[in-house]
Amino acid sequence: MAAKPFNPFEMAQRQFDAVADKLGLDQATRDLLRHPLREYHFGIPVRMDDGAHKVFRGFRVQHNDARGPCKGGIRFHPQETVDTVRALATWMTWKCAVVDIPLGGGKGGVICDPHNLSEREQEAICRGWVRQVAHNVGPIQDVPAPDVMTHGQHMLWMLDELEVLRGGKLPGFITGKPVGMGGSLGRTEATGYGVVYTIREAMKDLGLDFKQATASVQGAGNVAQYAIDLFTQLGGKVIAVACWDQADQRAYTYRCEAGIGFGQLMAAIDKFGTIRADRAREHGWERLDADAWIAQPATVLIPAALDNSVNADNAHKIKPTVKILAEGANGPTTPEADKILEGKGIFVIPDFLCNAGGVTCSYFEQVQCNMNYYWERDEVLQKLDTKMTNAFRAVSELGRKRKVYTRDAAYMIAVARVAEACHLRGWV
């Protein structure tokens, strides 16, 4: 019998169910938080450059807005599914709650491949997406942001479309915008830096010396890039990076015992976060199989690419040297793998805490836009460090106090905060 396909939303619900039991939530609260409050599914008709017309499928899922407007990225991906968007919207609710910012969870997506679309076609998709949900998003309803294969220019096209439809300036509608057009300094680095802020705090808890630490990273996109940047700035060494190869349509791991620096990485990748094989050879990097990143003798593993990356099939490959697994991606570790990691004594920094730097800095951008006053980069990053450190300390202390796994501790804090907001509003 064929194995059942991986479903990220089912995984998100399983994670929630386990914590709901620990918190003793009543049935109505469970029913409310286990599913999104609302979903939008729509078609986006676009006239292509060759004159033909094509309809792209789009989604926006608003999981919960009890603590504030929904917040979450918009992904462009050829394998996008509504269950992926549902899972990510759910995790965004917990992510905003665990770092204690006044926002809820949302997520959006379009089934498309930007690799095969012109700039004009991508702009048409962006504007079409906004037209379909213009009455259901906005600064006080739902605030999108970039995600997989979207960036600041996409956000600006979306902002412009909503402002045309609404007849006014609404810079707080969307985050991840270019600096000078309502974007925040520090936003580009925020998610990757946030990952490393939590790694730094975990190392303090475990008594590890950052300057002796090594890391193996899955991914070469924005999150991975800036995690590598700060990890090396703090004295650590990155010995391996895995990423998708667009030309070969498969993934590889690139390894260098001497270390892979941020400058070298940026010189080796293209605009889609793909390491070019010819440039890797110039740096003397060894090319290995896709899953080799997880089997490196590193101190820290950083899955910063896709969900379902650490699973029952590969978690046993993790070396005894690994002390920390920092989830830069959303949903990279399956519940089955969690049991293996716990058995190995690996300190897991769960995704919705570890990668919350992005949404935290997006919140800062939203605040700056709404008050029309912008902070300097160092101030943004200092505020981000404070938020991430405080959130990590709360999760770490609860984990020790209740003797629970770090993912459970993070969930317990986040779910309890959202449940309380729902109760105070009288929803349940």
DSSP tag of 6: P
User: Closest Cα to residue 80, out of 103, 110, 102?
Assistant: 110
The mean-pLDDT minimum among 166-170, 201-205, 305-309 falls in: 305-309
Residues 280-295 have a mean pLDDT of 94
Q: What is the DSSP string of 7-63?
A: -HHHHHHHHHHHHHHHHT--HHHHHHHHS-SEEEEEEEEEE-TTS-EEEEEEEEEEE
Q: Which pLDDT value is given to residue 3?
A: 65
Q: Which pLDDT value is given to residue 132?
A: 98
Strand boundaries in 79-162, DSSP class E: 104-111, 142-146
Give the model's confidence band at 148: pLDDT under 50 very low, under 70 low, under 90 confident, else very high: confident
pLDDT tens sequence across 114-130? 999 999 999 999 999 99
0.85 exceeded by pTM:
yes
pLDDT tens sequence across 152-171? 999 999 999 999 999 999 99
Instruction: Look at the block and give the residue holding tokens 């070969």.
Output: 248
From the candidate CATH numbers 3.50.40.10, 3.40.50.10860, 3.10.290.10, 3.90.850.10, the one assigned to the domain spanning 38-169: 3.40.50.10860
Q: Please report, for the chain, the start and end positions of each structural domain, with discontinuous segments joined by +.
A: 38-169, 188-354
Known active-site residue 323: no
Residues 32-37 have a mean pLDDT of 98
Q: Which pLDDT value is given to residue 245?
A: 81
Which residue is catalytic, options 95, 107, 323, 387? 107
Which CATH superfamily groups domain 188-354? NAD(P)-binding Rossmann-like Domain (3.40.50.720)
Q: Which pLDDT value is given to residue 246?
A: 75
C-alpha span between 113 and 217 (Å, rounded):
24
Do 159 and 138 touch, CB atoms closer than 8 A?
A: no
Residues 266-284 have a mean pLDDT of 87
Q: Which pLDDT value is given to residue 1?
A: 55
**Mean pLDDT estimate for the chain:** 95
* Domain 188-354 in the same topology as domain 38-169: yes
**Is residue 88 predicted with pLDDT exceeding 90?**
yes
